Chains A and B, each alone.
Chain A
Protein backbone atom coordinates (compact mmCIF):
# COMPACT_ATOMS: atom_id res chain seq x y z
CA UNK A 1 0.00 0.00 0.00
CA UNK A 2 1.34 3.43 -0.73
CA UNK A 3 0.26 7.02 -0.62
CA UNK A 4 0.52 9.82 -3.12
CA UNK A 5 1.61 13.39 -2.83
CA UNK A 6 -1.00 16.09 -3.53
CA UNK A 7 -0.73 18.69 -6.24
CA UNK A 8 -0.75 21.61 -3.83
CA UNK A 9 2.13 20.10 -1.88
CA UNK A 10 4.18 19.87 -5.07
CA UNK A 11 3.17 23.36 -6.13
CA UNK A 12 4.53 24.62 -2.85
CA UNK A 13 8.03 23.57 -3.83
CA UNK A 14 10.36 26.39 -4.75
CA UNK A 15 10.48 26.89 -8.50
CA UNK A 16 13.58 27.87 -10.41
CA UNK A 17 13.25 31.49 -11.37
CA UNK A 18 12.87 31.92 -15.12
CA UNK A 19 14.15 35.27 -16.29
CA UNK A 20 14.38 36.75 -19.74
CA UNK A 21 17.89 36.46 -21.16
CA UNK A 22 19.82 38.53 -23.67
CA UNK A 23 22.50 36.55 -25.55
CA UNK A 24 22.36 33.88 -22.85
CA UNK A 25 22.78 36.27 -19.94
CA UNK A 26 20.12 37.89 -17.80
CA UNK A 27 19.71 41.66 -17.82
CA UNK A 28 21.10 41.68 -14.32
CA UNK A 29 24.24 39.80 -15.39
CA UNK A 30 24.80 42.25 -18.22
CA UNK A 31 24.49 45.16 -15.81
CA UNK A 32 27.02 43.51 -13.56
CA UNK A 33 29.50 43.20 -16.42
CA UNK A 34 28.87 46.44 -18.28
CA UNK A 35 28.77 48.90 -15.39
CA UNK A 36 32.24 48.15 -13.95
CA UNK A 37 33.54 48.03 -17.51
CA UNK A 38 32.14 51.49 -18.22
CA UNK A 39 33.70 52.89 -15.04
CA UNK A 40 37.05 51.34 -16.03
CA UNK A 41 36.95 52.84 -19.52
CA UNK A 42 36.10 56.29 -18.16
CA UNK A 43 38.90 56.12 -15.57
CA UNK A 44 41.49 54.99 -18.13
CA UNK A 45 40.35 57.70 -20.55
CA UNK A 46 40.67 60.33 -17.82
CA UNK A 47 44.16 59.04 -16.94
CA UNK A 48 45.35 59.15 -20.57
CA UNK A 49 43.91 62.62 -21.02
CA UNK A 50 45.50 63.94 -17.81
CA UNK A 51 48.92 62.58 -18.81
CA UNK A 52 48.73 64.13 -22.28
CA UNK A 53 47.18 67.46 -21.28
CA UNK A 54 49.83 68.08 -18.63
CA UNK A 55 52.72 66.63 -20.61
CA UNK A 56 53.68 64.28 -17.74
CA UNK A 57 56.93 62.47 -18.67
CA UNK A 58 56.58 58.69 -18.82
CA UNK A 59 59.28 58.12 -16.16
CA UNK A 60 56.89 59.79 -13.71
CA UNK A 61 53.53 58.51 -14.92
CA UNK A 62 52.99 56.73 -18.24
CA UNK A 63 49.53 56.77 -19.80
CA UNK A 64 47.55 53.55 -20.11
CA UNK A 65 48.24 53.30 -23.84
CA UNK A 66 51.99 53.35 -23.27
CA UNK A 67 51.63 50.77 -20.50
CA UNK A 68 49.69 48.57 -22.92
CA UNK A 69 52.35 48.98 -25.60
CA UNK A 70 55.07 48.05 -23.09
CA UNK A 71 53.09 45.03 -22.02
CA UNK A 72 53.02 43.80 -25.63
CA UNK A 73 56.65 44.72 -26.40
CA UNK A 74 58.10 43.17 -23.20
CA UNK A 75 55.67 40.25 -23.21
CA UNK A 76 58.44 37.70 -23.63
CA UNK A 77 60.32 38.70 -20.45
CA UNK A 78 57.16 39.47 -18.52
CA UNK A 79 55.44 36.21 -19.41
CA UNK A 80 58.42 34.20 -18.17
CA UNK A 81 58.25 36.08 -14.88
CA UNK A 82 54.48 35.70 -14.74
CA UNK A 83 54.82 31.96 -15.20
CA UNK A 84 57.34 31.75 -12.36
CA UNK A 85 55.15 33.75 -10.00
CA UNK A 86 52.15 31.65 -10.96
CA UNK A 87 54.03 28.43 -10.26
CA UNK A 88 54.98 29.56 -6.78
CA UNK A 89 51.48 30.87 -6.10
CA UNK A 90 49.69 27.70 -7.12
CA UNK A 91 52.19 25.36 -5.50
CA UNK A 92 51.76 27.33 -2.26
CA UNK A 93 47.96 27.31 -2.61
CA UNK A 94 47.93 23.59 -3.29
CA UNK A 95 50.09 22.77 -0.27
CA UNK A 96 48.04 25.20 1.86
CA UNK A 97 44.79 23.52 0.80
CA UNK A 98 46.14 20.05 1.42
CA UNK A 99 47.79 20.78 4.77
CA UNK A 100 44.99 23.09 5.90
CA UNK A 101 42.40 20.41 5.25
CA UNK A 102 44.51 17.66 6.80
CA UNK A 103 45.23 19.69 9.94
CA UNK A 104 41.59 20.73 10.26
CA UNK A 105 40.53 17.08 10.11
CA UNK A 106 43.14 16.28 12.74
CA UNK A 107 41.85 19.11 14.95
CA UNK A 108 38.31 17.81 14.50
CA UNK A 109 39.36 14.37 15.76
CA UNK A 110 40.77 15.59 19.03
CA UNK A 111 40.09 18.69 21.04
CA UNK A 112 43.45 18.28 22.80
CA UNK A 113 45.34 18.43 19.53
CA UNK A 114 43.32 21.45 18.43
CA UNK A 115 43.90 23.31 21.69
CA UNK A 116 47.63 22.59 21.66
CA UNK A 117 48.34 23.40 18.00
CA UNK A 118 45.88 26.12 17.03
CA UNK A 119 47.75 28.94 18.86
CA UNK A 120 50.83 28.17 16.77
CA UNK A 121 48.81 28.42 13.60
CA UNK A 122 47.66 31.83 14.83
CA UNK A 123 51.25 32.89 15.58
CA UNK A 124 52.23 31.85 12.08
CA UNK A 125 49.36 33.92 10.73
CA UNK A 126 49.95 37.14 12.68
CA UNK A 127 53.70 37.29 12.09
CA UNK A 128 54.23 39.54 9.04
CA UNK A 129 55.67 37.48 6.22
CA UNK A 130 58.00 40.35 5.26
CA UNK A 131 59.63 39.99 8.66
CA UNK A 132 60.26 36.26 8.49
CA UNK A 133 60.96 35.99 4.76
CA UNK A 134 64.67 36.98 5.14
CA UNK A 135 65.15 34.21 7.70
CA UNK A 136 63.48 31.60 5.55
CA UNK A 137 65.53 32.71 2.56
CA UNK A 138 68.71 32.31 4.61
CA UNK A 139 67.70 28.93 6.00
CA UNK A 140 66.40 27.33 2.83
CA UNK A 141 68.97 26.88 0.09
CA UNK A 142 66.61 26.55 -2.82
CA UNK A 143 65.19 30.04 -3.36
CA UNK A 144 62.02 28.72 -5.00
CA UNK A 145 61.28 26.48 -2.03
CA UNK A 146 61.90 29.47 0.25
CA UNK A 147 59.43 31.59 -1.76
CA UNK A 148 56.91 28.75 -1.69
CA UNK A 149 57.17 28.51 2.09
CA UNK A 150 56.58 32.26 2.46
CA UNK A 151 53.53 32.16 0.19
CA UNK A 152 52.27 29.08 2.01
CA UNK A 153 52.52 30.74 5.43
CA UNK A 154 50.24 33.53 4.22
CA UNK A 155 47.77 31.28 2.40
CA UNK A 156 47.49 28.51 4.94
CA UNK A 157 45.55 30.04 7.81
CA UNK A 158 42.22 30.96 6.18
CA UNK A 159 41.86 27.41 4.92
CA UNK A 160 42.72 25.90 8.28
CA UNK A 161 40.47 28.13 10.35
CA UNK A 162 37.54 28.05 7.92
CA UNK A 163 37.65 24.28 7.54
CA UNK A 164 37.96 23.77 11.29
CA UNK A 165 34.87 25.92 11.77
CA UNK A 166 33.04 23.99 9.05
CA UNK A 167 33.88 20.58 10.50
CA UNK A 168 32.36 21.69 13.80
CA UNK A 169 29.20 23.10 12.22
CA UNK A 170 27.35 19.88 11.43
CA UNK A 171 23.63 20.05 12.13
CA UNK A 172 22.80 18.69 15.59
CA UNK A 173 19.85 16.63 14.50
CA UNK A 174 21.90 15.09 11.70
CA UNK A 175 24.58 14.23 14.26
CA UNK A 176 21.89 12.53 16.35
CA UNK A 177 20.68 10.68 13.27
CA UNK A 178 24.16 9.34 12.60
CA UNK A 179 24.42 8.30 16.24
CA UNK A 180 21.04 6.56 16.06
CA UNK A 181 22.34 4.43 13.19
CA UNK A 182 25.60 3.82 15.07
CA UNK A 183 27.77 5.45 12.44
CA UNK A 184 31.52 5.11 12.96
CA UNK A 185 33.78 8.15 13.42
CA UNK A 186 34.98 7.61 9.88
CA UNK A 187 31.42 7.54 8.49
CA UNK A 188 30.52 10.69 10.41
CA UNK A 189 33.62 12.41 9.05
CA UNK A 190 33.14 11.36 5.43
CA UNK A 191 29.36 11.60 5.16
CA UNK A 192 28.54 14.46 7.53
CA UNK A 193 31.42 16.64 8.71
CA UNK A 194 33.39 16.96 5.49
CA UNK A 195 30.34 17.74 3.33
CA UNK A 196 29.26 20.32 5.92
CA UNK A 197 32.74 21.84 5.87
CA UNK A 198 32.90 21.99 2.07
CA UNK A 199 31.48 25.54 1.65
CA UNK A 200 33.72 26.80 4.46
CA UNK A 201 36.78 25.17 2.90
CA UNK A 202 35.98 26.68 -0.48
CA UNK A 203 35.45 30.09 1.12
CA UNK A 204 38.89 29.75 2.69
CA UNK A 205 40.35 28.72 -0.64
CA UNK A 206 38.93 31.85 -2.26
CA UNK A 207 40.65 34.08 0.29
CA UNK A 208 43.85 32.06 0.20
CA UNK A 209 44.17 32.24 -3.58
CA UNK A 210 44.71 35.99 -3.43
CA UNK A 211 46.86 35.70 -0.32
CA UNK A 212 49.16 33.12 -1.92
CA UNK A 213 49.82 35.55 -4.76
CA UNK A 214 50.54 38.37 -2.31
CA UNK A 215 52.79 36.08 -0.28
CA UNK A 216 54.73 35.04 -3.37
CA UNK A 217 55.19 38.66 -4.51
CA UNK A 218 56.26 39.90 -1.07
CA UNK A 219 58.78 37.08 -0.74
CA UNK A 220 60.17 37.81 -4.19
CA UNK A 221 60.63 41.44 -3.18
CA UNK A 222 62.52 40.42 -0.09
CA UNK A 223 64.63 37.88 -1.95
CA UNK A 224 65.32 40.34 -4.73
CA UNK A 225 66.92 37.62 -6.83
CA UNK A 226 67.87 38.49 -10.37
CA UNK A 227 68.56 36.34 -13.37
CA UNK A 228 66.30 34.42 -15.69
CA UNK A 229 64.24 32.61 -13.09
CA UNK A 230 62.74 35.62 -11.35
CA UNK A 231 59.11 36.51 -10.87
CA UNK A 232 57.04 39.61 -11.47
CA UNK A 233 58.11 41.30 -8.26
CA UNK A 234 61.71 41.28 -9.41
CA UNK A 235 60.64 42.85 -12.72
CA UNK A 236 59.11 45.70 -10.72
CA UNK A 237 62.30 46.16 -8.65
CA UNK A 238 64.43 46.03 -11.76
CA UNK A 239 62.25 48.55 -13.62
CA UNK A 240 62.47 50.82 -10.61
CA UNK A 241 66.27 50.77 -10.63
CA UNK A 242 66.35 51.44 -14.38
CA UNK A 243 63.58 54.03 -14.32
CA UNK A 244 61.57 51.89 -16.79
CA UNK A 245 58.32 53.09 -15.26
CA UNK A 246 56.01 51.88 -18.10
CA UNK A 247 57.40 48.39 -17.60
CA UNK A 248 56.83 48.66 -13.87
CA UNK A 249 53.20 49.48 -14.56
CA UNK A 250 52.95 46.62 -17.04
CA UNK A 251 54.19 44.17 -14.38
CA UNK A 252 51.77 45.71 -11.88
CA UNK A 253 48.87 45.27 -14.31
CA UNK A 254 49.85 41.63 -14.78
CA UNK A 255 49.86 41.04 -11.03
CA UNK A 256 46.40 42.59 -10.66
CA UNK A 257 45.02 40.61 -13.58
CA UNK A 258 46.49 37.42 -12.11
CA UNK A 259 44.87 38.16 -8.75
CA UNK A 260 41.52 38.73 -10.41
CA UNK A 261 41.88 35.56 -12.48
CA UNK A 262 42.71 33.50 -9.39
CA UNK A 263 39.71 34.91 -7.55
CA UNK A 264 37.41 34.18 -10.48
CA UNK A 265 38.81 30.67 -10.85
CA UNK A 266 38.23 29.94 -7.16
CA UNK A 267 34.73 31.39 -7.35
CA UNK A 268 34.00 29.12 -10.30
CA UNK A 269 35.36 26.06 -8.50
CA UNK A 270 33.23 26.94 -5.49
CA UNK A 271 30.14 27.45 -7.62
CA UNK A 272 30.60 24.16 -9.46
CA UNK A 273 31.10 22.25 -6.23
CA UNK A 274 28.12 23.77 -4.43
CA UNK A 275 25.60 24.60 -7.14
CA UNK A 276 23.23 21.78 -6.23
CA UNK A 277 22.69 22.62 -2.65
CA UNK A 278 24.37 25.60 -1.04
CA UNK A 279 22.73 29.01 -0.67
CA UNK A 280 25.89 30.79 -1.77
CA UNK A 281 25.80 29.10 -5.18
CA UNK A 282 22.17 29.87 -5.90
CA UNK A 283 20.74 32.54 -8.10
CA UNK A 284 19.20 35.38 -6.21
CA UNK A 285 15.44 35.34 -6.30
CA UNK A 286 13.29 38.37 -5.92
Chain B
Protein backbone atom coordinates (compact mmCIF):
# COMPACT_ATOMS: atom_id res chain seq x y z
CA UNK B 1 0.00 0.00 0.00
CA UNK B 2 1.37 3.40 -0.88
CA UNK B 3 1.32 6.90 0.48
CA UNK B 4 -1.80 8.90 -0.14
CA UNK B 5 -3.92 5.79 -0.26
CA UNK B 6 -7.49 7.00 -0.30
CA UNK B 7 -10.18 5.51 1.83
CA UNK B 8 -13.26 4.17 0.07
CA UNK B 9 -16.88 5.24 0.55
CA UNK B 10 -17.94 5.75 4.16
CA UNK B 11 -18.69 2.62 6.21
CA UNK B 12 -19.61 4.58 9.31
CA UNK B 13 -21.15 8.04 9.48
CA UNK B 14 -21.97 10.04 12.59
CA UNK B 15 -24.41 12.93 12.23
CA UNK B 16 -24.75 15.41 15.07
CA UNK B 17 -24.35 12.64 17.60
CA UNK B 18 -25.04 13.55 21.23
CA UNK B 19 -24.73 11.28 24.23
CA UNK B 20 -26.06 12.22 27.64
CA UNK B 21 -25.78 9.44 30.22
CA UNK B 22 -28.63 8.63 32.58
CA UNK B 23 -26.86 10.49 35.41
CA UNK B 24 -26.92 13.71 33.35
CA UNK B 25 -23.29 13.68 32.18
CA UNK B 26 -23.04 15.15 28.71
CA UNK B 27 -20.36 12.85 27.32
CA UNK B 28 -20.26 14.00 23.70
CA UNK B 29 -22.02 16.76 21.80
CA UNK B 30 -22.50 17.27 18.07
CA UNK B 31 -20.07 14.74 16.72
CA UNK B 32 -19.96 14.53 12.92
CA UNK B 33 -17.65 12.04 11.32
CA UNK B 34 -17.44 9.84 8.23
CA UNK B 35 -15.07 6.92 8.21
CA UNK B 36 -14.08 5.56 4.83
CA UNK B 37 -13.86 1.95 3.81
CA UNK B 38 -10.43 0.49 4.62
CA UNK B 39 -9.24 3.55 6.53
CA UNK B 40 -7.20 3.51 9.74
CA UNK B 41 -8.54 6.27 11.97
CA UNK B 42 -7.43 7.15 15.48
CA UNK B 43 -9.59 8.97 18.00
CA UNK B 44 -7.15 10.98 20.07
CA UNK B 45 -7.92 13.07 23.10
CA UNK B 46 -7.48 13.53 26.82
CA UNK B 47 -9.12 11.15 29.23
CA UNK B 48 -12.84 11.87 29.63
CA UNK B 49 -13.37 13.48 26.22
CA UNK B 50 -15.79 10.79 25.14
CA UNK B 51 -13.61 8.53 22.97
CA UNK B 52 -14.95 5.34 24.51
CA UNK B 53 -18.47 6.70 24.34
CA UNK B 54 -18.19 7.30 20.61
CA UNK B 55 -16.68 3.86 20.05
CA UNK B 56 -19.39 2.12 22.08
CA UNK B 57 -22.09 3.97 20.14
CA UNK B 58 -20.53 2.90 16.83
CA UNK B 59 -20.46 -0.69 18.13
CA UNK B 60 -24.14 -0.41 19.02
CA UNK B 61 -23.46 -1.11 22.69
CA UNK B 62 -25.12 2.16 23.72
CA UNK B 63 -27.59 4.33 21.84
CA UNK B 64 -27.00 8.02 21.05
CA UNK B 65 -29.28 10.48 22.83
CA UNK B 66 -29.63 12.50 19.64
CA UNK B 67 -28.23 12.38 16.12
CA UNK B 68 -27.70 9.45 13.84
CA UNK B 69 -25.12 6.73 13.41
CA UNK B 70 -25.22 5.11 10.00
CA UNK B 71 -23.57 1.92 8.89
CA UNK B 72 -23.03 1.06 5.22
CA UNK B 73 -25.37 -1.60 3.88
CA UNK B 74 -24.68 -4.93 5.55
CA UNK B 75 -22.95 -3.16 8.39
CA UNK B 76 -25.56 -4.26 10.88
CA UNK B 77 -24.94 -7.97 10.38
CA UNK B 78 -23.61 -9.92 13.32
CA UNK B 79 -19.89 -10.41 13.11
CA UNK B 80 -19.36 -7.39 10.95
CA UNK B 81 -17.87 -5.46 13.83
CA UNK B 82 -14.97 -6.60 16.00
CA UNK B 83 -14.20 -4.93 19.33
CA UNK B 84 -10.97 -4.93 21.33
CA UNK B 85 -11.21 -3.61 24.87
CA UNK B 86 -8.47 -1.98 26.93
CA UNK B 87 -8.28 -5.15 29.02
CA UNK B 88 -7.91 -8.45 27.17
CA UNK B 89 -11.41 -9.41 28.43
CA UNK B 90 -10.91 -13.15 28.01
CA UNK B 91 -12.98 -15.83 29.68
CA UNK B 92 -10.55 -17.20 32.30
CA UNK B 93 -12.31 -20.57 32.39
CA UNK B 94 -11.72 -21.23 28.70
CA UNK B 95 -8.48 -21.89 26.88
CA UNK B 96 -7.17 -19.64 24.15
CA UNK B 97 -8.82 -21.57 21.33
CA UNK B 98 -12.25 -21.60 23.00
CA UNK B 99 -11.97 -17.89 23.70
CA UNK B 100 -11.36 -17.15 20.04
CA UNK B 101 -14.14 -19.55 19.00
CA UNK B 102 -16.70 -17.61 21.06
CA UNK B 103 -18.01 -15.19 18.41
CA UNK B 104 -18.44 -18.03 15.92
CA UNK B 105 -20.13 -20.31 18.44
CA UNK B 106 -22.48 -17.50 19.47
CA UNK B 107 -23.42 -17.16 15.82
CA UNK B 108 -24.29 -20.85 15.76
CA UNK B 109 -21.31 -22.22 13.82
CA UNK B 110 -20.53 -25.87 14.58
CA UNK B 111 -17.67 -26.71 16.90
CA UNK B 112 -15.33 -28.23 14.32
CA UNK B 113 -15.43 -25.41 11.83
CA UNK B 114 -15.23 -22.78 14.56
CA UNK B 115 -12.15 -24.52 15.99
CA UNK B 116 -10.44 -24.53 12.59
CA UNK B 117 -11.11 -20.85 12.02
CA UNK B 118 -10.07 -19.92 15.55
CA UNK B 119 -6.81 -21.83 15.17
CA UNK B 120 -6.14 -19.97 11.93
CA UNK B 121 -6.89 -16.62 13.62
CA UNK B 122 -4.50 -17.49 16.45
CA UNK B 123 -1.80 -18.35 13.92
CA UNK B 124 -2.40 -14.96 12.27
CA UNK B 125 -1.56 -13.12 15.49
CA UNK B 126 1.52 -15.29 16.09
CA UNK B 127 0.07 -17.63 18.71
CA UNK B 128 0.29 -20.96 16.91
CA UNK B 129 0.91 -23.63 19.54
CA UNK B 130 -0.84 -21.72 22.35
CA UNK B 131 -4.34 -23.03 21.58
CA UNK B 132 -4.58 -25.08 24.77
CA UNK B 133 -3.11 -22.45 27.09
CA UNK B 134 -5.36 -20.76 29.62
CA UNK B 135 -5.33 -16.94 29.80
CA UNK B 136 -3.61 -16.92 33.20
CA UNK B 137 -0.56 -18.61 31.66
CA UNK B 138 -0.11 -15.86 29.06
CA UNK B 139 1.74 -12.54 29.28
CA UNK B 140 -0.16 -9.25 28.86
CA UNK B 141 0.95 -8.91 25.25
CA UNK B 142 -0.09 -12.46 24.39
CA UNK B 143 -3.51 -11.99 26.02
CA UNK B 144 -4.01 -8.89 23.88
CA UNK B 145 -3.08 -10.94 20.81
CA UNK B 146 -5.77 -13.47 21.74
CA UNK B 147 -8.23 -10.60 22.12
CA UNK B 148 -7.33 -9.33 18.63
CA UNK B 149 -7.63 -12.84 17.18
CA UNK B 150 -11.09 -13.12 18.71
CA UNK B 151 -12.12 -9.78 17.20
CA UNK B 152 -10.80 -10.77 13.75
CA UNK B 153 -12.05 -14.36 13.68
CA UNK B 154 -15.40 -13.32 12.16
CA UNK B 155 -13.56 -11.40 9.42
CA UNK B 156 -15.27 -8.12 10.40
CA UNK B 157 -15.34 -5.18 8.03
CA UNK B 158 -14.89 -2.83 10.96
CA UNK B 159 -12.47 -3.26 13.87
CA UNK B 160 -12.99 -1.02 16.91
CA UNK B 161 -10.19 -0.80 19.47
CA UNK B 162 -10.37 1.09 22.78
CA UNK B 163 -6.84 1.84 23.99
CA UNK B 164 -5.91 -1.81 23.48
CA UNK B 165 -2.21 -1.44 24.19
CA UNK B 166 -2.31 1.20 26.93
CA UNK B 167 -1.43 -1.28 29.68
CA UNK B 168 1.54 -2.87 27.87
CA UNK B 169 5.22 -2.06 28.17
CA UNK B 170 6.71 0.02 25.36
CA UNK B 171 8.61 -2.76 23.57
CA UNK B 172 5.59 -5.02 23.47
CA UNK B 173 3.40 -2.12 22.40
CA UNK B 174 5.69 -1.35 19.45
CA UNK B 175 5.62 -4.98 18.34
CA UNK B 176 1.85 -5.11 18.58
CA UNK B 177 1.58 -1.82 16.67
CA UNK B 178 3.61 -3.35 13.83
CA UNK B 179 1.65 -6.59 13.88
CA UNK B 180 -1.65 -4.73 13.90
CA UNK B 181 -0.61 -2.79 10.78
CA UNK B 182 0.46 -6.04 9.09
CA UNK B 183 -2.96 -7.56 9.84
CA UNK B 184 -4.75 -4.41 8.70
CA UNK B 185 -2.94 -4.43 5.36
CA UNK B 186 -3.57 -8.14 4.87
CA UNK B 187 -7.22 -8.26 5.87
CA UNK B 188 -8.32 -4.81 4.68
CA UNK B 189 -10.74 -4.09 7.49
CA UNK B 190 -11.59 -0.54 8.51
CA UNK B 191 -9.98 0.35 11.83
CA UNK B 192 -11.05 2.86 14.48
CA UNK B 193 -8.41 3.05 17.16
CA UNK B 194 -8.86 4.96 20.41
CA UNK B 195 -5.70 6.17 22.11
CA UNK B 196 -4.39 8.99 24.23
CA UNK B 197 -0.88 8.61 22.83
CA UNK B 198 0.15 11.07 20.12
CA UNK B 199 3.03 8.81 19.06
CA UNK B 200 0.91 5.72 18.74
CA UNK B 201 -1.79 7.50 16.76
CA UNK B 202 0.69 8.98 14.29
CA UNK B 203 2.52 5.68 13.86
CA UNK B 204 -0.63 3.73 13.11
CA UNK B 205 -3.16 5.95 11.44
CA UNK B 206 -3.89 7.47 8.12
CA UNK B 207 -6.19 9.92 9.82
CA UNK B 208 -6.39 11.30 13.34
CA UNK B 209 -9.54 12.78 14.83
CA UNK B 210 -8.63 14.99 17.78
CA UNK B 211 -11.27 15.38 20.49
CA UNK B 212 -11.68 17.80 23.39
CA UNK B 213 -13.47 17.40 26.68
CA UNK B 214 -16.34 19.08 28.50
CA UNK B 215 -18.35 18.53 26.47
CA UNK B 216 -16.72 15.86 24.34
CA UNK B 217 -16.44 17.01 20.73
CA UNK B 218 -14.31 16.74 17.61
CA UNK B 219 -11.94 19.66 17.22
CA UNK B 220 -9.52 18.66 14.47
CA UNK B 221 -9.16 16.12 11.73
CA UNK B 222 -5.58 15.49 10.62
CA UNK B 223 -4.27 13.33 7.80
CA UNK B 224 -0.99 11.49 8.21
CA UNK B 225 0.30 11.16 4.67
CA UNK B 226 3.04 8.62 5.19
CA UNK B 227 3.52 5.43 3.23
CA UNK B 228 2.62 1.97 4.45
CA UNK B 229 4.11 -0.39 5.38
CA UNK B 230 5.48 1.66 8.22
CA UNK B 231 8.29 0.17 10.27
CA UNK B 232 10.94 1.09 12.78
CA UNK B 233 12.56 3.31 10.15
CA UNK B 234 9.41 5.45 10.06
CA UNK B 235 9.40 5.63 13.84
CA UNK B 236 12.75 7.43 13.84
CA UNK B 237 12.20 9.56 10.73
CA UNK B 238 11.96 13.35 10.59
CA UNK B 239 8.62 12.91 8.85
CA UNK B 240 7.28 11.03 11.86
CA UNK B 241 8.59 13.67 14.25
CA UNK B 242 6.95 16.44 12.20
CA UNK B 243 3.60 14.67 12.22
CA UNK B 244 3.88 14.11 15.97
CA UNK B 245 4.51 17.81 16.53
CA UNK B 246 1.53 18.77 14.38
CA UNK B 247 -0.79 16.39 16.22
CA UNK B 248 0.63 17.32 19.60
CA UNK B 249 -0.01 21.01 18.90
CA UNK B 250 -3.56 20.22 17.87
CA UNK B 251 -4.04 18.26 21.08
CA UNK B 252 -2.77 21.15 23.17
CA UNK B 253 -5.08 23.56 21.40
CA UNK B 254 -7.89 21.10 22.10
CA UNK B 255 -7.02 21.14 25.77
CA UNK B 256 -7.08 24.93 25.75
CA UNK B 257 -3.40 25.65 26.28
Given contacts A1-B186, A2-B126, A277-B136, contact A181 B142 (CB under 8 A): no
Q: Is B197 on the interface with A (CB-CB < 8 A)?
A: no
Q: Are the CB atoms of B83 and A177 closer together than 8 Å?
A: yes
Known: A14-B137, A171-B89, A278-B92. A5 touches B126 (CB 8 A): yes
Is the beta-carbon distance between A187 and B106 smaller than 8 angstroms?
A: yes
- On chain B, the number of residues with a Cβ less than 8 Å from chain A's Cβ atoms is 45
* A142 interfacial contact with B, CB 8 Å: no
| A11 neighbours in B (Cβ, 8 Å) | 139
**CB <8 Å contact, B61 and A180:** yes
Which among B61, B172, B175 is the interface contact of A179 at CB below 8 angstroms? Answer: B61
In contact, B87 and A181 (Cβ under 8 angstroms): no
Closest approach, in angstroms, between the C-beta of A179 and any C-beta of chain B? 6
Quick check: A173 and B141 within 8 Å, CB to CB? no
Known: A176-B61, A180-B60, A182-B106. A6 touches B93 (CB 8 A): no
Pairwise interchain contact A174-B106, C-beta atoms closer than 8 A? no
List of B residues within 8 angstroms of A27 by Cβ: none
In the complex, how many angstroms separate the beta carbon of A95 from the nearest chain B beta carbon?
Answer: 26
**A4 close to chain B: CB less than 8 A:** yes
Q: Does A252 contact B (CB under 8 A)?
A: no
A54 at the binding interface (Cβ < 8 Å): no
In the assembled complex, which residues on chain A have CB atoms less than 8 Å from the CB atom of B145? Answer: 5
Contact B106 A181 (CB under 8 A): yes
Q: Is A221 an interface residue (CB 8 A)?
A: no
Kindly state the separation between the CA atoms of A4 and B186 in the bound complex, as whole angstroms.
Answer: 15
Q: Does B234 contact A (CB under 8 A)?
A: no
- Chain B, Cβ-Cβ closest to A1: B186
Report the minimal beta-carbon distance from B110 to chain A, rounded to whole angstroms. 15
- Any B CB within 8 A of the CB of A165: no
A12 to B169, CA, bound (A): 11
Q: Contact: A9 with B175, CB < 8 Å?
A: yes
Smallest Cβ distance from B87 to chain A, in angstroms? 6
Rounded to whole Å, the gap between the CB of A170 and the closest CB of chain B is: 10
With a cutoff of 8 Å between Cβ atoms, the chain B residues found around residue A191 in the complex are 91, 102, 105-106
CA distance A173 to B137 in the complex (A): 21
Q: Categorize the interface residue count of chain A.
A: 20 to 34
Contacts of B140 in A (CB 8 A): 12
A160 to B60, CA, bound (A): 34
Q: Taking A180-B59, A181-B79, A195-B91 as contacts, is the C-beta distance between A4 and B134 under 8 angstroms?
A: no
A115 to B178, CA, bound (A): 52
B81, CB-defined interface residue at 8 Å: yes
Q: Which residues of A contact B248 (CB under 8 A)?
A: none
Contact, CB under 8 Å: A181 / B78? yes
| Residue pair A276, B124 in contact (C-beta under 8 Å) | no
Assess whether A116 is interfacial by the CB under 8 Å rule. no
Nearest 8 CB-CB pairs, A to B? A12-B139, A3-B179, A5-B126, A1-B186, A173-B89, A13-B139, A4-B126, A277-B92
Instruction: Pick 23 A–B contacts, CB within 8 A, sort by A.
Output: A2-B123, A2-B124, A3-B125, A4-B126, A5-B145, A9-B141, A9-B172, A13-B142, A14-B139, A173-B87, A174-B89, A176-B56, A176-B85, A177-B89, A178-B106, A180-B60, A180-B81, A182-B78, A191-B102, A195-B91, A276-B95, A277-B92, A278-B92
Q: Which residues from chain A sit less than 8 Å from chain B, CB to CB?
A: 1-6, 8-14, 171, 173-174, 176-183, 187, 191-192, 195, 198, 276-278, 282
Q: A174-B89, A178-B106 are in contact. List 11 more A-B contacts (CB 8 A).
A: A2-B124, A2-B182, A5-B142, A12-B141, A180-B59, A180-B60, A180-B61, A192-B91, A276-B134, A277-B92, A277-B134
